[in-house]
């Protein structure tokens, strides 16, 4: 009932600037976000923000609109959102009221794209210089992943397809594309691909059970509410939450699976005389160290993303820690971190077993016990001085 009421209220708020005409046609204000430039600061002063004891800067600025239907127009705009400077570019929301055609202006965002592109350029240059051909392949794989997400995953969800099925499908395609483009077609890459897809399926089952059993609705943020309103309730919000968990897992899962497959390959090459059980144990030992580092990284990354929310709750809440943790916003992040970490843990044994099977298939293993004893004896005396 609470969600239904919230949905109705927000729908009214979103359609507050829309009215039905005589023919039943919805009349809406025309809105466009356009690049503009500050010509002059007409007035600037400190004013108290209503409802608080905080002082904020209030400006009256003369601007020139650089694009859109009002391109070339010079107007004076009140700004209490950003502290703009003469000559600075920014994005302006230009609204034309449906009734009377009055023009309204409000400052939106500073124009930051040139600086963003500089850092992107530094990143690309670093990949070319230090990554070489492997780095270039990684970039091609990254572009392919974004294409799949932008042109397959997102449109599929918006068209009403099951977020769970489409996320697992797109995740599998991203795994296959990224692995073969970056590392080439070989048995080691294929074993990592099979290991990742198997891990995605197992983790997907765990994630679905976790989301359903904990009663998460998917409405952990206001963006989800507005998204569902714009889609007229056609999006499976719970499925979308699940899809976000799976996509967030992919990057780190890729690192674990490829690393584990290559570990097994190198151990088999350097020690073909060692029993396969021993190879498996050594590979798992390496994988455990990798898990320890990546689980910590994953958890800290999620905490970093939710840092403003954590500070707000700790600052304003008078509830106990258990009440806070039970809230959907917190429970969602806990489930997200837990399921992601479980995926990493499962990837190590799954990929190790699959790689050993694929690389050893059809090969006869000859165990040299004397050589093994000699190597173990040498290892025991590493660093010893006589």
Final residue belonging to a domain, choices 79, 114, 149: 114
Verify that 94 and 147 share a domain, yes or no.
no
Distance CA 103, CA 30 (A): 10
Q: Which residue has the higher pLDDT, 380 or 73?
A: 73
The domain in which residue 240 lies consists of 131-370
CATH classification at residue 104: 2.40.50
pTM: 0.69
Residue 2 lies in a domain: no
pLDDT in tens, 190-236: 998 998 888 888 888 888 888 888 888 777 666 777 777 777 767 77
Q: Report how far apart, in Å, the C-alpha atoms of 267 and of each of 186, 187, 189 are.
A: 17, 15, 16
Over range 143-151, report the average pLDDT.
88
Which residue(s) pair with 90 in the sheet? Answer: 36, 110
Percent pLDDT > 70 in the chain is 81
Query: Angle at CA 218, nearest 5°, toward 319 and 18?
Result: 105
Verify that 110 and 159 share a domain, yes or no.
no
pLDDT in tens, 56-104: 788 889 999 999 888 999 999 888 888 888 999 999 999 888 777 788 8
Residue 11 lies in a domain: no
Are 254 and 179 contacting, i.e. CB atoms less than 8 angstroms apart? yes
Q: Looking at residue 373, what is its pLDDT?
A: 62
Verify that 82 and 142 share a domain, yes or no.
no
Residue 135 lies in a domain: yes
Residue 24 structure tokens: 């039943």
Residue 384 lies in a domain: no
Give the contacts of 8 (CB within 8 A, at least 6 positions apart): none
Verify that 96 and 184 share a domain, yes or no.
no
Distance CA 31, CA 14 (A): 14
CATH classification at residue 355: 1.20.1640
Arithmetic mean of pLDDT over the chain: 79
Verify that 178 and 302 share a domain, yes or no.
yes
Over range 288-293, report the average pLDDT.
79
Rounded to 5 degrees, what are φ and ψ at 62? -95, 125
Q: Per the structure, how many domains does the chain have?
A: 2
Are 94 and 32 contacting, i.e. CB atoms less than 8 angstroms apart? yes
Residue 174 lies in a domain: yes
Verify that 311 and 262 share a domain, yes or no.
yes
Residue 13 lies in a domain: no
Helix-helix angle 163-183:237-270, to 10 degrees:
30
What element of type H or E holds 11? Answer: helix 2-14
Verify that 102 and 241 share a domain, yes or no.
no
Tell whether the model's pLDDT for residue 365 goes beyond 70: no
Verify that 211 and 348 share a domain, yes or no.
yes
Verify that 90 and 166 share a domain, yes or no.
no
Verify that 137 and 217 share a domain, yes or no.
yes
Residue 12 lies in a domain: no
Over range 255-261, report the average pLDDT.
86
């Amino acid at each position: 009932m609470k969600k239904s009421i919230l949905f109705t209220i927000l729908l009214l708020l979103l359609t507050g600037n829309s009215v039905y005409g005589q023919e039943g046609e919805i009349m809406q204000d025309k809105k466009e976000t356009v690049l503009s430039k500050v010509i002059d600061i007409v007035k600037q002063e400190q004013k108290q923000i209503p409802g608080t004891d905080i002082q904020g800067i209030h400006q009256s600025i003369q601007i020139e609109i650089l694009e859109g239907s009002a391109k070339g127009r010079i107007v004076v705009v009140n700004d209490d959102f950003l502290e703009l400077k003469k000559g600075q570019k920014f994005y302006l929301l230009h609204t034309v009221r449906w009734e009377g055609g009055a023009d309204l202006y409000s400052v939106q965002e500073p124009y930051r794209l040139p600086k963003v592109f500089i850092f992107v350029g530094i990143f690309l240059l670093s990949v070319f210089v230090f990554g070489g051909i492997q780095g270039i392949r990684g970039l091609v794989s990254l572009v392919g992943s974004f294409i799949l997400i932008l042109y397959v995953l997102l449109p599929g969800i918006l068209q009403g397809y099951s977020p769970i099925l489409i996320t697992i499908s797109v995740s599998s395609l991203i795994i296959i594309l990224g692995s073969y483009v970056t590392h080439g077609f070989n048995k080691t890459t294929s074993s990592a691909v099979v290991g990742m897809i198997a891990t995605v399926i197992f983790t997907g089952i765990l994630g679905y059970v976790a989301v359903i059993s904990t009663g998460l609705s998917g409405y952990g943020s206001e963006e989800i509410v507005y998204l569902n309103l714009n889609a007229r309730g056609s999006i499976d919000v719970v499925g979308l939450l699940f899809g976000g968990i799976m996509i967030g897992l992919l990057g780190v899962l890729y690192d674990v699976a490829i690393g584990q497959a290559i570990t097994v390959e190198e151990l088999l090459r350097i020690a073909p005389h060692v029993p396969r059980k021993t190879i498996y144990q050594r590979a798992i030992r390496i994988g455990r160290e990798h898990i320890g580092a990546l689980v910590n990284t994953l958890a800290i990354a999620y905490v970093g993303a939710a840092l403003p929310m954590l500070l707000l709750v700790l600052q304003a809440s008078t509830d106990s820690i258990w009440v806070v943790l039970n809230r959907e916003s917190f429970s969602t992040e806990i489930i997200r971190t837990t399921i992601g970490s479980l995926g990493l843990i499962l990837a190590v044994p799954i990929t190790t077993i699959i790689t050993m099977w694929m690389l050893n298939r059809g090969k006869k293993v000859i165990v040299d016990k004397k050589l093994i004893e000699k190597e173990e004896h040498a290892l025991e005396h590493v660093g010893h001085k006589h």
